Structure 1
């Protein structure tokens, strides 16, 4: 009886020990699975971090798509710069053109004024230069340099002028000291002149100096300017 009890008790103890060992083994297995899961989770996080780092590094170098607005901004600045250069070039050409036109106007005006002064100077020089040896030709030269009413009046008295020069054996030589344009109006102008002459004649004058101040009106006659009026100024 006692033997049966002992055997039964031993069996129960062995069974309990087996269950305890099985439970312990299950617990160790669960702990191992938990560690493995934790390791996988840590590995996944590290992989994700590495992937994020790689993506960030790649964006800095090659994988970042260019912002289209940046291209349009650069193109816009380029267009503005080109337009500015074109505007400056056109403006420069316009200014240069205006300067050339103004220069041509000034040059033409000065040439016209010089032509008026030259015509008056030539006429007065001829008027003050009469040699009795060639009096008729000298008088005709004055007529050729004249126009209008002055030419008409001088032509009427030309013969008397020649006779007087020949009778007195006068030789006069004129020169212009200074001349300036007083006014101009289209194809006419008034020139002020300071002139001098020397006179030699049968009455004893020997290159005696004379001073003259004149106001001479010149006018266009064909393609030339000629004396149209002569006034002696005191």
Structure 2
């Protein structure tokens, strides 16, 4: 009888132990499912262990750091881009300033060349006007006409024959030189030139290379491709 009781007690104890083990296994399974759910929420492997979860958290921290790093690179790239843009802008500005300086210089050079051309035309015309040799009076007078334009050319042409006759009759030889010439003003294709000139006169009336001084105001104007005398005034 006692043996039956003992066997019954042992059976009950074994049943209780089996139930406890089953409950523990169920608890473990439930814990595993909870971990798997948490892992899925974090994007981790459902089969991962606690260490895997910690690794996942570390990976997330590293990912955050890695996310920051590209932004740092972009910031540095942006700074370099700004620096390059500044250099390019400065280079372009320098080129523009240099171009403007070259244009201004070319304008100054062109203006000086234009002024020199006006003075040269007046100088050449005055020398021709003051240099008449009776031996070639017609040719000398024609040269003055060729170097003239406008009103002065018309007036001088009308008196050319008388001028030639006077030179031939008096056997006059005059040689003119220009001592100084300066442009007083200019306006487009015209200019007013002041000249200090002199001439020597030899003629049949007894003059022998007698010097004479002249102060003249000569207006020059464009005639075709050349500048010529358009008006001549003798200044006291």
Alignment of 1:168-183 (within 5 A): 168-183=170-185
**Counterpart Cα distance in 2 of 1:68 and 1:106:** 56
Gaps of 5+ in 1: 1-58
Match of 1:76 among 75, 78, 81: 78
Cα-Cα RMSD = 1.6
Q: Distance in 2 between matches of 1:72 and 1:140?
A: 84
| 3-state SS, counterpart of residue 179 of structure 1 | strand
Find the aligned partners of 2:216 and 2:134 in 1 and give their Cα distance. Answer: 24
Give the structure 2 partner of residue 11 of structure 1.
none
Matching residue of 1:24: none
Alignment partner of 2:194 out of 192, 195, 205: 192
User: Residue 230 of structure 1 corresponds to which residue in structure 2?
Assistant: 232
Query: What does 1:77-156 align with in structure 2 at a 5 Å threshold?
Result: 77-156=79-158
TM-score (norm 2): 0.70
State the alpha-carbon separation in 2 of the partners of residues 219 and 194 from structure 1.
20
Q: Partners of 2:223 and 2:86 in 1: how far apart?
A: 54
Give, in angstroms, the shift of residue 96 of structure 1. 1.0
CA distance in 2, matches of 1:157, 1:80: 78
Query: Which structure 2 segments of 5+ residues have no match?
Result: 1-61
1:161 aligned residue: 163
Show the counterpart of 2:57: none
Please state whether the residue corresponding to 1:198 is helix, strand or coil. Answer: strand
Give the SS at the match of 1:231: strand
- For residues 201 and 233 of structure 1, the distance between their equivalents in structure 2, rounded to whole angstroms, comes to 24
SS at structure 1 position matched to 2:207: coil
Question: May I ask how many residue pairs the two structures share in their alignment?
Answer: 173
Q: How far apart are residue 196 of structure 1 and its match?
A: 0.8
The structure having more radius of gyration, on CA atoms, is 1
